[in-house]
Every structure is written in structure tokens, then in C-alpha cells.
Structure 1
Amino acid sequence: MGKAMVSPGLSELAQPVTAVGRGKVECLQKNRKKILFVTSELADLAKAGGLGDVSAALPRALGRFHSVRVLIPGYPQVISRGHPMEILCELEGYAGLPACQIGTMLLPDGLTVYVVLCPELYDRPGTPYGDEHGRDWPDNHIRFARFGLAAAALASGEVCADWQPDLVHAHDWPAGLAPAYMAWQGQRTPSVFTIHNLAYQGLCDLNCMPELGLPAEAATEQGMEFYGKLSFLKAGINYADHNTTVSRNYAREITTAEFGCGLEGLLKLKASTGGLTGIANGIDECWHPDSDSRHQWPDKKSNTRHVEAMFDLEPNDGPLFVIISRLVYQKGLDLIPQVAEVIIKAGGRLAILGQGEESVETMLTELAGRYPQRIGFHRGFNELDARRMFAGSDFLLMPSRYEPCGLSQSYAQCFGSLPIARRTGGLADTIKDGETGFLFDDSTAESFADAIVRATRVYRQPDLLEAMRRQAMNAPRYWHHAAKPYDKLYRKLINESLGKTGPAVRGSEHG
């Protein structure tokens, strides 16, 4: 169809360019590849968790190496930002998947975002995955199959003939069918699939195969069959050319029965053949207090008093503990009532910010009621409040049962707040026990309490506390570090693909 103009919109962040040698920059520019990110979240537009942060920051960090564009579903949050959108084409329906349009937006910093426009699937209140009450949409398999099929169309050059990706990078289960549809269509464009959280697998019944237009092989162990169901996550793992996950330690953990969520055998095989890589997430440099031009950060004591006032906590000279988290089972927050007395006996206070499962919210509300002026809980999330809490706190509590990477521990370290966390996933990679924070081994109140006691002992030794704070503030890994291994991986896969198909199959973007 002809091009048309509509007026939805988005907002965007600045894309920093890191200084490297002039010759190296020119070499990178001449070898720029076209990379398509396929993600269900983008922090500036629609976000439910850490995936949105990664999907917003990593393409920008990769901008020094490649031409990166992002594909996202057309949720109301995406459509309502007020930026012009150009309609590129209409894609026909397929099996039980409705027709859709593909729109494109150019964001203020130059990042191009493609949007899958299908109001019957995406124009709904709530989160990207469910309603206002946290219930998953029953047709999520249709919603994200349509999304994956649109990604395959972009990969084939059907949508935008002058920008056909050299590689597709799909993220988590909502994008799992992108590499699968590409493979079933016989496409040779290489793909990467990143596992952000193995526990969310995107399951649906086998009888959904006809409406998703899946071939018979999809129902096999080598396809996406998973204990009598279909797993979008397994589809991504099996059909992508390479799998990554968000920390080195989590890449090891998911090959074990404890953390593998039933996919440990497949992931162990991928790892043994070099098909699974752990690449730690970074954080945006805007989180560093010295880089935050929006706010003038006062000293830690002033921020502490601000947090005390926010949560109606008793001002004293004891340690201030904070929790800033999604309130879900994964985060291990059921241990907090069991260690509350340890915190209070040390003269500490606890401020909690977050929202999530109703049962966890109720538990924390009741806990705050039992300890007025010592424990405070606010339901919700506000980034400025979170930053003031990181800046004003002495310790951040992260008793996660598992944590693929985690970002909050690095945010806290930027502000000299020492994380107290379980030794799991990316927490084990980003926290040095006794140097930049405190780690504990077991998901038990006893193990957690021991770490809190160690932390309070350090709090009473000002010189040691200050030394740990300085080390913590130097610890965070930023996105320009994380982008380099992705660049290396992309180039390897693209070169291998060209070697198999011949140089005429795919062109590079110059300049």
C-alpha cells in the first residue's frame, strides 16, 4: 500500500559516542552492519521490567558499531507519545494471525523504531503482557506470534527494501517465534536469541498450532514442544543461530536442574557446542551521579533525611536499608519479615519501594504496620524517588532466589550504597563479597541475617565503610563495555552466514 502519515509517538535518550582512535572509528563506520532488535519492551515507550532498560540502552551503545533499529508492538503507550509515524506497509493475515501494518518512527536521537500496528491485539490497557490486575492476556500466543511473524517479514526485506537487516537479535519469549518463523521460511539471515529470564517461557497448548501456522516440526523436541505444550522461549533457543544470556554466572546456572526450568538439557548441549554465551548487562551512564545533569545530588546524609521523610521513618544515626524491586516470588522478599528484627536491633530502618504480586504487597504493608517509623512501604515506582533512595541508603537488600543479571545492585553501587544479595546469577558477577557489597549463599533467613549482621559491623567502622563505598562506586559496568562482546558476536555470525551463502546475499551499510 502507499505510504501514509499518522501521529503517534515516542521519546528517546541521547546516544553517546565513545572516543576511540580516528582510524578505528573509520574502520568501524565502513563495516557497519544492519541489526534488528526484536523486543516487547523499550524503556522510553513501554516497560514492565529490566528487559525494557536493556532494549533501550544496548541499541544505543551499539550505535558506534552498527546501524541498529528496534521492532516493538504498538501498545497504547507507544502510540500516544505524539511523534509522527510513517506507515511502511500492510502485512496480510496468516493462519489465525490477523493482518497488521508496520509503522516507523525516528526518535529524537536518531534511533529508528518499527511498530507493529494491530489494534485488536495491542490496543489494550495494562502492561505489555496483561491487564490492569496483572492477569496475562489469554491470547498472548496470538499477540506475540503476530509480532514474531512481523519480525520475519522485516528480516526478509518485505517491509523495507532499503534496510534489510544483516542480523536479527530477538529478546526473551515474546520474540521467540521471530527466529523460528525465519527458519521455517528458509531465510538465511543469522539470528541471536537472548534469554533475560528463563522462568518466563511463553507457553500455550499444542492445539494452538493451526492458528499460529506452525509446521509439524514445531511439535517435536527439536522444535518448540515442551512437556506437552508449545514454548515460545524454546523456539527462540532452538532456531536462533546463537543464544546469549545476561550474565556469565547465569549462563552456567541455567545448565543445571536447579535453575534450568526444565530446559537444562537443551541449554547444556548449546553450551557444550559453543552456542550459549553469558554477556553481562550494563547500566546507562546517566545513573552515575556525576553524569546526571537533571538533578544536583546533595551529600548522602541529606538524601538519607529525604528518604526518612518520604517514608515517615525515625531519624537516627543507624543504617538505612532500602528495597527497590518488583514484588514477585523471584525476589525472595518473603525473607524480609524474618530478618526485620535483625535490622531493627542494629538501629536500622528499612524503606521499601515497588509493586507486583498482591500477596507480597499485602505482606509488606502488614510488616510496615508492625514497625511504624522503622519500616516504611510505598506501592509503585518513581525513578526520582528510587535515585534518592539509592543515594541516601547505606545498604540495598536483594535476597533474590535467582537473578539472571540484576541492575539495582549496580545502580546502588553508583551512589555508594552497598548491596546485600544472594550469591546467584548476575549478583555473583557484579558484587565482590566484603569489597563492593555482601553476598550470602542460601535462600534462608539465617543466611540472609548473617550477611546483614556483617554489613552492620562494617557500618560501625567508618574507615572500612568508606573504603567499601569507594570501591563500590568504581565497580559498575556501563553499556559501552557490554556492547563490545555483542559486536564481536554479530560480526562472527554474519561472516559465517556470508561464507555459507556467498557475498551477494547480504550487503553492508557504509557511512
Structure 2
Amino acid sequence: MKRGELKILFVASEAYPLVKTGGLGDVLYSLPHAVHARGADVRLLLPGYRALLRQLEQVRIVGWIDVRGAEGIDSARILETRHPDYAFPLWVVDCPPLFDRPGNPYVNANGQDWLDNAERYTVFSRVAALLALDSLELGWKPDVVHAHDWQTGLVAAFLAEHPERPKTVFTIHNLAYSGYFPHGDFVRLQLPSHWWSPEGVEFHGGLSMLKAGIVYADAITTVSPTYAAEICTPEFGYGLDGLLLSRSYKLHGILNGIDTRLWDPHTDARLPAHYSAARILPGKRRNKQALLGRFLPAVDDAMLAAPLLGLVGRLVEQKGIDWVLAAIPVMLAETDARFVLLGSGQVSYEQKLTRLAKQHPDRVFVEIGYDESLAHLIEAGADMFLMPSRFEPCGLNQMYSLRYGTPPIVYKTGGLADTVVDADEAALADASANGFVFESPDTAGFLDAIRRALELYRQAPRWRRLQQTGMQQSFDWSDSAAHYLDLYSI
């Protein structure tokens, strides 16, 4: 089949701008659009969360699907809608008992997983599989179903039961989240008994929805080549490394892209000033002034000259936030650097960062939560970007940072290793350097990389070349979309 004739159903638990908790949401906006732009016929299926439904205007009910839940039959309305940010139809699984609730898709107001997550995403996956088989006779049957992360891991398993089924592709965005539930949930949901084995969905006595995707999908992808190799090792495999190694014949590492329309310092509507690789100043400096001005009553030339280090991300151990907390006091004592951090996560990290900001109100600026406009301003206004993740399947913020002329400081892992070239003397000489990479997983290695970055920052011509190298790189979805279309077509 020609690639342009492919019908592809994307199935996911979130997609920007309708619902987003992290990079998964960004990918489920950008990748379907990149594939659609190359001629594929696309649909995107999402759960009918309350916040999502409130954003929909013209909605058409295309049918009802009843499937097995934990206590009996769950009935879902299937809605079709068009959204101004999407170039193709959206399908929504509207099942109020499971999805019509406030707040985060996965956790309650206290940060605890919703107790019925196993039922919620099993029902969603059952409905997705039936839609993929055109059970509503809508006249649209996909050639490929592309499911994402543990919430949709069962889709491939349900489809594997049917001989006349579409091809299934399962993408692991982060192996650390496996969708692990007790055996009792498996029984209550009346999942097929032959799935319950070490060769099926059973994992350490429980049900792993992520494992189901790995076992039953026709192809598995991860979001960077290095991460695809890393998860086949005990260090990064979370107990699934042996399984992944045995499935390496169908495992592909395809680097995520970024949406270069939303993330472009030359046109970004969220920025007070625009700039490009050809003319970084004065635009970047004006963004820095606006960023500092958000937290300080007045901004003088000395403040603008001092380095400003930014961070946007989840405040959890995976992201190396403990290294950041250890490094900031050292840098405050040694240098004139300032720090601006945006994110939320582990309460203890939130509290420690807030305390640091109160202790150093003119040097450390912290905003707990997420603010899309502030995220863009940090990428544009900071001089360098902190991203010391212990592991990072792909990472998007380092690519945003490179595009915005804000060299990232990263640990050598996953997608960070695939995108950031360390500014050692050789790489600076051949103009391939675009950031700072440390290989020792500790505070000392992180501090060394920060010190090297600050030293180069004081060398304006070399720093400008480093910025331009990153800004001139291509991180759009074109290459990645072509890889996926090749995979879909096999």
C-alpha cells in the first residue's frame, strides 16, 4: 500500500491543547499532523475527560459501544468532532462514570492515582479496538493503529484476538510508568485468561498494561535511538529488559520532533521580542529583560549581563532535581548567576525550591505549576537551560532550548545524548557543539558542566557560535514522520 493511502488511528490518553500533562501530549499533537501532512488519512481517539469535553463545540454522536468493565457493562458514546487546532477528525470516548471528573487525567487532587485507572483504560482500550475493527460500521477502518504508553497498552492485545485486524504499533514514551495493577483487577475486568502468563501480561504477580503493548504489538517504538538501546539493559529496563531484548527485532528508536510552528523564536506569539540565528540580539536580550522583570521590581544592565539559567520540567528524581538543588547554592556562592525554575512534582522538591527562592529573592525565581507562556519565555530569556535528567526517553525541552539559542546542560542519556553535542574543544573547533554534556551521574559532574558553560558564556563570540549551531539545526517532525510512515507501510 502506498504511504499516502494509509488510514491511521492514533490512540492516546492525552493530546495538546485539549489535555496535556507532559511531552506525550505534545507528541500526540505533532506526530499525527506530520503524518497527515504527508497524505495519510488520520483519526485521533481520546478519552472524554470533563476538561476536554468542555472545549468541544460541534459534536456528532456516531454511535454507542458497550464493553465489559469492572462491575458489569460500561456504555460509551462515541463522539466525532472537529477542533480548530486539528486538521483531521477527533474521536472521543464519552463514558461519564470513568472520565467525567475534575482535574488530572491520571491522579486525584491529592496526587494519588485514581483507584479505577485499571478499569478506565481497559474500557478505553476495548472501545479503541472495536472502533479499529469498524464495529460501528462508519466506513472507516484503519490500516494501522498507533497506541501510546501504558494507558493504551491493551489495544494491541485486544486486536491480536482478531485475524482481520489492522497492524498495531505501540510507542513507549517512558518505560518507568508501566500501568501495573493487581491480579484482582485482571479478574474483575474479565480479561482473557490465556493472557495471564509470563509470556503475556503477567508481571511480578500483577497486570502490566505496558507489557501487553510490548508483547502483542506488531512493532514497538521508543522516542529516541539511544533510549531504545538503553531499555534493553537492566539499568533502564525496569525488569522488562529481557523481554525487550527478545523483541528487539520489532523495536525501533525514532527521535521525536518538535512543532516548529509553535516553537519558533522568530514568530512565537508568546514572546515580547522575536529573534533568529542570523540576529540573536537584541531580541533575546529583551526576552531576558521581560523574564527577569516578571520576578524583580527593576532590571539593570548588571542583571542583564549576569548569566540566567532556566529549567522547565517535572520536579521529580528522574529529572535530576536533587542535583539542581545541590548545585544552586554552590553557584550562588561562586558566581553571579541567577536561576528561574518552572514546574511541579514531588512536594519535598517543590518546598525546597520555594525555600531557596525565599532565601535568595533576587537570585532564584521559582514558579510551582505549569504556565505555557512562561515556559516559552524561559526558553527565550534564559542564557542556558538545565536538563540533568537521570534518564530521558527523548526530551523536548532540550530541542526547544537549542532552537531558542539557549544551550542546554544535560546528562548523557536517551534523547539528550542523541541531540546535544558537548562543547569540548574539538566540537567547538568544528562547529558541531551545541550544548554541555556531563557523563558522571552526580552533582559534581553537573557542577563541572555548569562551570564550563559559564566560562564559555563570558567569551561572547564563541558563545554566539554555539547558539547559532543549535538554532540552525532541524528538529521538526519531517524525518521522524518519514520513519513512522515507513514503519506503518512494512
Give the structure-2-normalised TM-score: 0.91
Q: Does the 8 Å CA contact 1:418/1:436 hold for their aligned counterparts?
A: yes
Show the 5 A alignment for 1:411-426.
411-426=400-415
Show the 5 A alignment for 1:407-446.
407-434=396-423, 435-446=433-444
Letter in 1 for 2:331: I
Q: Does the 8 Å CA contact 2:421/2:435 hold for their aligned counterparts?
A: yes
Match of 1:215 in 2: 192
Q: Per-residue displacement from partner, 1:392-451 (whole Å, max 9, x unpaired)?
A: 111100111111000011111111000001111100001011111001112211000000
Match of 1:354 in 2: 343
Q: 1:342 to 1:475 in 2, by over 3 A?
A: farther
Number of positions where the alignment pairs a residue of Structure 1 with one of Structure 2: 463
Letter in 2 for 1:98: D
Q: 1:326 to 1:333 in 2, by over 3 A?
A: same
Report the alpha carbon displacement of residue 471 of structure 1 after superposing the two structures with TM: 0.2
**DSSP 3-state at the match of 1:285:** coil
Q: 1:241 aligns with which of 194, 214, 218?
A: 218
Q: Per-residue displacement from partner, 1:269-323 (whole Å, max 9, x unpaired)?
A: 111xx21000000000120122435656241111111111222387522111011
Letter in 1 for 2:413: T
Match of 1:290 in 2: 266
Q: Using the alignment, how far apart are the partners of 1:293 and 1:352 within structure 2?
A: 21
Q: 1:252 aligns with which of 226, 229, 238?
A: 229
Q: Per-residue displacement from partner, 1:171-212 (whole Å, max 9, x unpaired)?
A: 000000111111134443210000000000001111222322
Q: Does the 8 Å CA contact 1:173/1:236 hold for their aligned counterparts?
A: yes
Q: Per-residue displacement from partner, 1:100-149 (whole Å, max 9, x unpaired)?
A: 11111122343111100100000011111011222110110000000000
**Which moves more between the two structures, 127-136 or 192-201?**
127-136
Q: Using the alignment, how far apart are the partners of 1:70 and 1:460 within structure 2?
A: 48
1:98 aligns with 2:74: yes
Show the 5 A alignment for 1:54-69.
54-63=27-36, 64-69=38-43
Letter in 2 for 1:486: Y
**Which moves more between the two structures, 187-196 or 142-151?**
187-196
Report the alpha carbon displacement of residue 160 of structure 1 after superposing the two structures with TM: 4.1
Q: Using the alignment, how far apart are the partners of 1:392 and 1:161 within structure 2?
A: 49
Q: Does the 8 Å CA contact 1:171/1:195 hold for their aligned counterparts?
A: yes
Letter in 1 for 2:260: E
Report the alpha carbon displacement of residue 475 of structure 1 after superposing the two structures with TM: 2.3
Question: Which blocks of at least 5 consecutive residues in structure 1 are unaligned?
Answer: 1-26, 493-511
Question: Which blocks of at least 5 consecutive residues in structure 2 are unaligned?
Answer: 275-282, 424-432
Q: Per-residue displacement from partner, 1:84-105 (whole Å, max 9, x unpaired)?
A: 1111111123253512111111
- Share of identical aligned residues, percent? 41
**DSSP 3-state at the match of 1:330:** helix
Match of 1:21 in 2: none
Q: Does the 8 Å CA contact 2:146/2:171 hold for their aligned counterparts?
A: yes
Q: 1:279 aligns with which of 240, 244, 254?
A: 254
Q: Does the 8 Å CA contact 1:324/1:386 hold for their aligned counterparts?
A: yes
**DSSP 3-state at the match of 1:93:** strand
Q: Using the alignment, how far apart are the partners of 1:209 and 1:305 within structure 2?
A: 55
Q: Per-residue displacement from partner, 1:376-397 (whole Å, max 9, x unpaired)?
A: 1111222221111111111100
Match of 2:278 in 1: none
Letter in 1 for 2:76: C
**DSSP 3-state at the match of 2:159:** helix
1:206 aligns with 2:190: no
Match of 2:277 in 1: none
**DSSP 3-state at the match of 1:68:** strand
Q: Does the 8 Å CA contact 2:272/2:286 hold for their aligned counterparts?
A: no
Letter in 1 for 2:369: G
Match of 2:291 in 1: 307
Letter in 2 for 1:277: H
Show the 5 A alignment for 1:91-130.
91-94=65-68, 96=70, 97-108=73-84, 109-130=86-107
Letter in 2 for 1:138: L
Q: Does the 8 Å CA contact 2:129/2:155 hold for their aligned counterparts?
A: yes
Q: 1:318 aligns with which of 294, 306, 312?
A: 306
Q: Using the alignment, how far apart are the partners of 2:111 and 2:218 within structure 1?
A: 33
Letter in 2 for 1:106: R
Q: Does the 8 Å CA contact 2:270/2:373 hold for their aligned counterparts?
A: no
Report the alpha carbon displacement of residue 71 of structure 1 after superposing the two structures with TM: 0.5
Q: 1:378 aligns with which of 358, 364, 367?
A: 367
Q: Using the alignment, how far apart are the partners of 1:294 and 1:451 within structure 2?
A: 30
Q: Using the alignment, how far apart are the partners of 1:294 and 1:384 within structure 2?
A: 6
**DSSP 3-state at the match of 1:92:** strand
Report the alpha carbon displacement of residue 40 of structure 1 after superposing the two structures with TM: 0.1
Give the structure-1-normalised TM-score: 0.88
Show the 5 A alignment for 1:158-177.
158-177=135-154
Match of 2:468 in 1: 470
Show the 5 A alignment for 1:171-190.
171-190=148-167
Q: Does the 8 Å CA contact 1:413/1:476 hold for their aligned counterparts?
A: no
Q: Using the alignment, how far apart are the partners of 2:316 and 2:74 within structure 1?
A: 33
Q: Does the 8 Å CA contact 1:332/1:443 hold for their aligned counterparts?
A: no
Q: Does the 8 Å CA contact 2:151/2:209 hold for their aligned counterparts?
A: yes
Letter in 2 for 1:268: L
Q: Using the alignment, how far apart are the partners of 2:396 and 2:355 within structure 1?
A: 27
Report the alpha carbon displacement of residue 47 of structure 1 after superposing the two structures with TM: 0.8
**DSSP 3-state at the match of 2:52:** helix
Q: Using the alignment, how far apart are the partners of 1:77 and 1:167 within structure 2?
A: 28
Q: Using the alignment, how far apart are the partners of 2:216 and 2:47 within structure 1?
A: 22
**Which moves more between the two structures, 100-109 or 406-415?**
100-109
Q: Using the alignment, how far apart are the partners of 1:294 and 1:394 within structure 2?
A: 18
**DSSP 3-state at the match of 2:130:** helix
Q: Does the 8 Å CA contact 1:342/1:453 hold for their aligned counterparts?
A: no
Match of 1:155 in 2: 132
